[in-house]
Amino acid sequence: MSDTKILIVEDELLIAKGLSRKLKKLGYTVIDIVSSGTKAIQRATEVKPDLILMDIVIKGDIDGIETATQIHEQLGIPVVYLTAYADDQTLDRAETTGSYGYILKPFKDRELHATIKMALKKHQQQADVQQSLLKTQVFSEEKSQLLSMVAHDIRNPLTTIQGSSEILQYYQHKLTEEKQVKHFERIQFAIDNINQMLEDILILGKTGARKLSFEPIPLNALAFCQSILEQFQSTTKQHQLTFCSQKECSQTYLDGKLLSHILANLLSNAIKYSPEGGNIHLEVCGDEQQMIFRVRDQGIGIPPEYQAKLFEQFERADNVGKIPGTGLGLCIVKQAVDLHQGTITMESELGVGTTFTVVLPVLKGDGEMGS
Ligand code: ATP
Ligand code: MG
């Protein structure tokens, strides 16, 4: 009990001293006695007591109830009122300020002890409820973040399936057996990708586990990027997708799921915002400390006045014309980059093209990285 710190706000010194003695006898620590509302707020801010015992009628401009309201709002410290009389009006006022109880003067030990214990308990319960509300809120934000990510990005593998299955349907006889196998593999890969996303949502729904987290694994960035690029190449004939990388990128340590959200959105934008076609270049380089992914297109470019809003939800630049979009892709990219503690920058010139550069630090998990 001695670790419970109490501040007394009472302008009659004799009463305050008597109360202090009783509290010490009961095992509480009295950290100070002050006599006005202003001093009470100042001391409460400085010493952060666990509980304040506050006389309703005190010296100064603000009375005990007003002081308690301010302390409760600003500092969240529970206050128990001390009062010599308790007319209905005063009690009503005290109650509307979220009072934790009151003690009538002269104080009786048992009453004092019981009221303090109840006030501390009530305060603890309120703090627990608030904590669990906060957790629920954070969780539901994470959940909706993951849901919107999947709902948005599931279109990429679906486009691959559509593209490759159409090619197989209409041109199968013209394709070599090797090319046909390639398209079937792309379809399989895209289906696996969709399954993985749906599984993440199901796990989130069933177990409540945090799924939108950063889970780096040893990853061959070279093969990873090449496979994503191939998938996107199968969705367009107008664009030439090229790739360059360093050998060092074959072994790195990143979150593959997040990386695929990043690259898929950047590549789909590069294709979508180059309606005249052209080259789209993906470059990967890096070392043991960081990986750099750069996506360059020769598209419509991004107007300078829009660039500040680039990563905000539902924001689209004026020059997109009839090109469809929801304005969510880059927001998802930014979230994935942030989870990696990375950075994303952009350079663009209207009518010339755009380059997005993502830098991800390679955070090794328990020194597991193989290189
Ligand atoms: P969504 O990705 O949700 O289908 P979107 O492509 O409009 O829709 P974002 O990917 O967030 O949304 O992009 C936001 C905006 O940034 C786009 O509407 C476009 O104005 C601009 N933008 C993004 N990438 C490029 C790019 N490579 N070239 C030109 N403009 C781009
Ligand atoms: Mg987009």
Ligand with smallest separation from the Cα of 325: 1
In whole angstroms, give the CA distance from residue 223 to residue 233.
15
User: Tokens 């302390």 map to which residue?
Assistant: 71
* Residue 300 CB less than 6 A away from ligand 1: yes
Structure tokens at 18: 């008597």
Q: Name the percent of the chain lying above pLDDT 90.
A: 54
Ligand 1 centre to CA of 163 (Å) is 22
Indicate which residue's Cα is closest to atom 10 of ligand 1.
Answer: 329
- Does the Cβ of 167 fall within 6 Å of ligand 1? no
What is the per-residue pLDDT across 300-332, written as a single tens digit (0 to 9) for each? 999 999 999 999 988 899 999 999 888 888 988
Cβ 342 under 6 angstroms from ligand 1: no
- Say which residue, 280 or 56, is predicted with more confidence: 280
> What's the pLDDT at 262?
94
Confidence bin at 169 (pLDDT 50/70/90) = very high
Mutate to test the pocket of ligand 1, among 263, 298, 330 (most ligand atoms within 8 A of CB): 330
Please tell me if the CB atom of residue 353 comes closer than 6 angstroms to any atom of ligand 1.
no
Q: Which residues contact 267 (CB under 8 A, 6 or more apart)?
A: 228, 229, 232, 241, 280, 282, 295
- The pLDDT tens digits for 49-98 are 999 999 988 888 888 889 998 998 899 899 999 888 767 777 777 777 76
Regarding the beta carbon of 326 and ligand 1, being less than 6 Å apart is answered yes
- pLDDT, position 164: 92
75: CB partners within 8 A, 6+ apart: 44, 45, 48
Pocket flag, ligand 1, residue 302 (CB < 6 Å) = yes
Residue 275, C-beta contacts closer than 8 angstroms, at least 6 positions apart: 299, 300, 323
Task: Give me the pLDDT at residue 335, please.
Answer: 87
pLDDT of residue 368: 38
Burial 78-104 (b: 16+ CB within 10 A, else e): bbbbbbeeeeeebeebbeebebbebbe
Does residue 320's CB lie within 6 angstroms of at least one atom of ligand 1?
A: yes
Contact criterion met (CB below 8 Å) for 175 and 164: no
Residue 140: the pLDDT is: 79
Q: Which of 48-57, 156-165, 169-178, 199-208 has the lowest mean pLDDT?
A: 199-208
DSSP H/E element including 243: strand 239-245
What is the model's pLDDT at position 212? 60
Give the ligand 1 atom nearest the CA of 353.
28
Low-confidence winner among 18-22, 146-150, 204-208 (lowest mean pLDDT): 204-208
Domains in the chain (CATH in brackets) are: 5-107 (3.40.50.2300), 133-208 (1.10.287.130), 217-361 (3.30.565.10)
CA of 356 to the centre of ligand 1 (A): 12
Looking up tokens 């294709």, which residue turns up? Answer: 271
Q: Is pLDDT above 70 for 41?
A: yes
Looking at residue 196, its pLDDT comes to 79
Distances (CA, A) of 250 to 105, 180, 254: 78, 27, 12
- Whole-number Å distance between alpha carbons of 298 and 276: 9
Q: How far does the centroid of ligand 2 lie from the alpha carbon of residue 199, in Å?
A: 24
Residue 370 has pLDDT above 60, yes or no: no
Distance separating alpha carbons of residues 283 and 225, to the nearest angstrom = 9
pTM for the model stands at 0.65
Residue 102's beta-bridge partner residues? 81
pLDDT of 99 reads: 76
Please report where in the chains the tokens 């050998």 appear, as a residue: 247
Q: What is the pLDDT of residue 244?
A: 94
271 alpha carbon, closest ligand: 1
| Max mean pLDDT range (152-166, 219-233, 337-351) | 337-351
Residue 339, pLDDT above cutoff 60: yes
Q: Stretch 335-339: mean pLDDT, rounded? A: 90
Q: What is the rounded radius of gyration, in angstroms, for the C-alpha atoms of the chain?
A: 32
Residue 234: band (very low, low, confident or very high) from pLDDT cuts 50, 70, 90: confident
For residues 233 and 359, the answer to whether their CB atoms sit within 8 Å is no
Provide mean pLDDT across the span 177-199.
88
- Please tell me if the CB atom of residue 275 comes closer than 6 angstroms to any atom of ligand 1: no
Cα three-residue angle 251-284-191, rounded to 5 degrees: 75
For 147, half-sphere exposure in the C-beta direction (CA atoms, 13 angstrom radius) is: 9
**Predicted pLDDT at 54:** 92
Nearest atom in ligand 1 to the alpha carbon of residue 300 is 29
